[in-house]
Structure 1
Amino acid sequence: MVVHNNFNNNQTSYSNLQSLKNGKQKTILHSCLNQVWIIPSLFTLLIAIACVYTLIFPNIHKILQIYNFTVTSEILEASPAVESTDCDVFDGRWVEDDSRYPIYNSTDCPFAERGFSCFENGRKDKEYLRWQWKPKKCNIPRFDVEKALEMLRGKRVVFVGDSLSRTQWESWVCMLMEGVKNKESVYEINGSKITKTIRHLGVRFKDHNITVDFYRSVFLMNKSYDVPAGAPKNVRMTVRLDLVDDISDQWIDSDLLVFNTGGWWTENRLFNEMRCFFQIGNSLEFGISVIDGYKMALNTWADWAEANINPNRTTLFFRTIESTHWRGPNQCDVSEKPLNETKGKEKSEKSDIIMETVEKKMKRVAVRIMHLTPMGSYRSDAHVGNWGDNPSVQDCGHWCLPGFPDIWNEIIISHFLPKIPSFSS
């Protein structure tokens, strides 16, 4: 038998391994000692980073805002056609545009009320007609009357509210008439003349089968001279906070429905001038403030809309409060150009109530809010002023035609309706 003894070979191998290992450790240690400068360098670097962080971080949000604003502004200026799917068309600024307005001449439109036709009543300057509303993140396409008439063919458009709603109705009709060759084919369906108190006005565009109606309902609620028995003598009429206007059934059968209310909801106008008080059921409610009454009325309106509007047919808009620019009781200064600052007029408690009510109450029916308060807060130049039908009475609550209301309609017709299938098709 042959026995192989590998002991010596193994020991030799082990010794070699130990020698190699010791040599490697010495080499690493030597290398680290030679590069010991790295540690203080790293320490110095950490201190520098900490200093930069301390200096910059408190202002980093401001730096990012400035950068973002600059880039956004440059993109908007360089590419005017830029659009955004989440654009808030009511967030923007006024820019001069000599080529876009006016869309029509009020003296040539038989449906423009004389009291709003400032040019016809002697206003000489035309600066107020030069301003275009430019949203921050998109553009409002230029009004194209031929496209508008085709888009509205066979449709019924209804405006409901106070005199500011009537102004919008007049603007809408005059804008569309610019594309009608046979002016006689456009007529008021009842043969009525435009007055401030008439409850219903309707204009028919015969060749395009379009009807544009206005219903005067300053509170949107039922108003009655039949006051409850035992009411104090100073109560002349009431507004039912729990009941929508009795002509509301005439609003429903529409393709486009636009509401507004707010101007008449003041303590002086209601309680003092009109001697009008709130009613719920058969009871007079003297303890309800105007603002609380406004909230209750809008909630009643929202319940009515949810129960009666067909969302598959009717597109619904609600306008917020437009800013007025009164300097004092029955005194106003009409400027030559839009204001540079709003002085708080961009905010309105009633506008906030409108938006809050729609958000909380409307579930089945979609409502598009036209938030006109901020954009109107600059336009002290666009009011009627002394150029109404009675020059001795100043007016900083209504708007000249043509003028600011045309832009409300341009936003609806050119921005919103082309995105709605029932109109775009």
Structure 2
Amino acid sequence: MGTIHPLKDQPHSLTTKLLPWSLYALLSLALLRLYFYPLPLTQSLLHQVPQNKPIIITSSSSQEDDRFNRIPCDYTTNGKWVRDKSGPLYNGTSCGTIKEGQNCISHGRPDMGYLYWRWKPKQCKLPRFEPATFLRLFQNKHLAFVGDSMARNQLESLLCLLATVSPPDLIYQNGDDNKFRRWYFPSYNIHISIYWSPFLVKGIEKSNTGLNYNRLYLDLVDEKWASDMGEMDMIVLSVGHWFLHPAVYFEEDSVLGCHYCPGLNHTEIGFYDIFRKAFKTTLKAIVEKKHGSSEIDVIVTTFSPSHFQGDWDKAGACPKKKPFMEGEKLLEGMDLEMRNIEVEEVEAAKIKATQFSTGLRLEVLDVTKLSSMRPDGHPGPYMYPFPFANGVTERVPNDCVHWCLPGPIDTWNEIMLEVVKRWHAQSRRGG
């Protein structure tokens, strides 16, 4: 006997009558389900687009379409460091541009764990650095890093990343410790330069044989780099730590005040307002210089925190071997104040630029928080070769300010590349 279908021998009219009632019943059940258990659509969208948070950078790689360009992504201020077994793109011997004091591998640093972390933003994925993409986007251009030793640190990181596919030629060097240098990538006709200018404005640095304080002229931009501005396509500004040193400040040929100048008859005014004035003068000079002329891009790398725990010349001054976890390290105090000044002045300069300038793009590379979470990435005692070759001593110089290469500072250039990719995508769309 075969299986009997329950409606096989029933009249067709019965099926016709039952079907509409079945549909009505199902619809009623669905409406009741929606009433008591609504779909979490609104809540889901709120999680995707954070409320009241600054949009720092928007993702746009060459493989993404326009809908991805409209998704806000904060690459810098919200995220955490996660383990990454792939490690860096280069090592301490694969490029000849690293300053000796930051070449931690060649100086004998025994722990390698600091090399195996990646910055993971909360809202998106930060791609690994793409040297070929960077070179393609900068073809026939001049990129200039202007600032102090942190600018040089970032520059050397970039050169090492790029050298993995196209080694550059050093074509110019000058100044103490080669503070003014230029490299050339012949295959792409790219120039990358470093200009030593620790205040961005005109300054006379303290010396061992002369004045023991710096002299800053806050209304005058430093012509050592500004005189070449017309040949620059992109400028990366990076300063901060030199403003903490003793200094006397001048404005319109008059003494404005000083910072930590005992014995001098000047008013102590600290350095926060001075830091702001220096940025105002610098960004004003860039905006006005480029009025009506060719396109220029400006990126301001924000203040990079140090991680000293105790005296700079005592063993174990920056002893941590792992990053701070999310929420473990708050951004506060001087680090936060210096960062905020830079962000505010860039935003003010953007407004001014729109009033009378075209072809000027300004962006903040906000690395302060993500850098504050990497106490393990500094040279420490390995700023000198094999500091414990003759045993551990109580006193040994430590560098808890600059970054090992390779190291966490490579992330700065990964994020900077995303800025440039976004700018390129906007240009192609005519936005």
Please report the TM-score for the alignment, with normalisation by the length of structure 2.
0.70
Match of 2:403 among 380, 399, 404: 399
For residues 212-244 of structure 1, the C-alpha deviation after alignment (integer angstroms, 9 at most, x for no partner) is 100010000101379xxxxxx967652101111
Cα pair 1:197 1:216 within 8 Å, conserved: no
Measure, in 2, the Cα distance between the counterparts of 1:257 and 1:334.
Answer: 34
Q: Which amino acid aligns with 2:195?
A: Y
SS of 2:343's partner is helix
What pairs with 1:142-221 in structure 2 (closer than 5 Å)? 142-180=128-166, 183=167, 186-190=168-172, 197-221=177-201
Measure, in 2, the Cα distance between the counterparts of 1:94 and 1:130.
Answer: 10
1:260: which partner in 2?
A: 238
Q: Which amino acid aligns with 1:372?
A: V
1:386 equivalent to 2:381? Answer yes
SS of 1:189's partner is strand
Deviation, 1:309, is 3.3
SS of 1:362's partner is helix
CA gap of 1:225–1:400, structure 2 versus 1, over 3 A, is closer
1:316: which partner in 2?
A: 298
What pairs with 1:95-106 in structure 2 (closer than 5 Å)? 95-99=82-86, 101-106=87-92
CA gap of 1:397–1:235, structure 2 versus 1, over 3 A, is closer
Measure, in 1, the Cα distance between the counterparts of 2:100 and 2:212.
Answer: 34
1:336 equivalent to 2:317? Answer no
CA gap of 1:256–1:334, structure 2 versus 1, over 3 A, is farther
What pairs with 1:42-53 in structure 2 (closer than 5 Å)? none
Measure, in 2, the Cα distance between the counterparts of 1:343 and 1:237.
Answer: 31
Measure, in 1, the Cα distance between the counterparts of 2:43 and 2:369.
Answer: 22
For residues 383-415 of structure 1, the C-alpha deviation after alignment (integer angstroms, 9 at most, x for no partner) is 1111113643111111000011211111112x1
Cα pair 1:302 1:362 within 8 Å, conserved: no
Q: Which amino acid aligns with 1:94?
A: W
Deviation, 1:113, is 1.2
1:242 equivalent to 2:219? Answer yes
For residues 284-329 of structure 1, the C-alpha deviation after alignment (integer angstroms, 9 at most, x for no partner) is 2223321121121111112112111368521210011112111123
Measure, in 2, the Cα distance between the counterparts of 1:92 and 1:315.
Answer: 26
Measure, in 2, the Cα distance between the counterparts of 1:135 and 1:245.
Answer: 36
Match of 1:376 among 341, 366, 371: 371
What pairs with 1:36-185 in structure 2 (closer than 5 Å)? 85-90=71-76, 91-99=78-86, 101-180=87-166, 183=167
CA gap of 1:85–1:337, structure 2 versus 1, over 3 A, is same
CA gap of 1:282–1:127, structure 2 versus 1, over 3 A, is same
SS of 2:101's partner is helix
Higher helix share: 1
For residues 104-150 of structure 1, the C-alpha deviation after alignment (integer angstroms, 9 at most, x for no partner) is 11212111111101001001221111111111111122222222222
Q: Which moved more, 1:400-409 or 1:310-319?
A: 310-319
Please report the TM-score for the alignment, with normalisation by the length of structure 1.
0.71
Q: Which moved more, 1:358-367 or 1:203-212?
A: 358-367
1:284: which partner in 2?
A: 255
Q: Which amino acid aligns with 1:349?
A: E
Q: Which amino acid aligns with 2:307?
A: H
Asked which structure has the greater CA Rg, the reply is 1
Measure, in 2, the Cα distance between the counterparts of 1:387 and 1:240.
Answer: 36
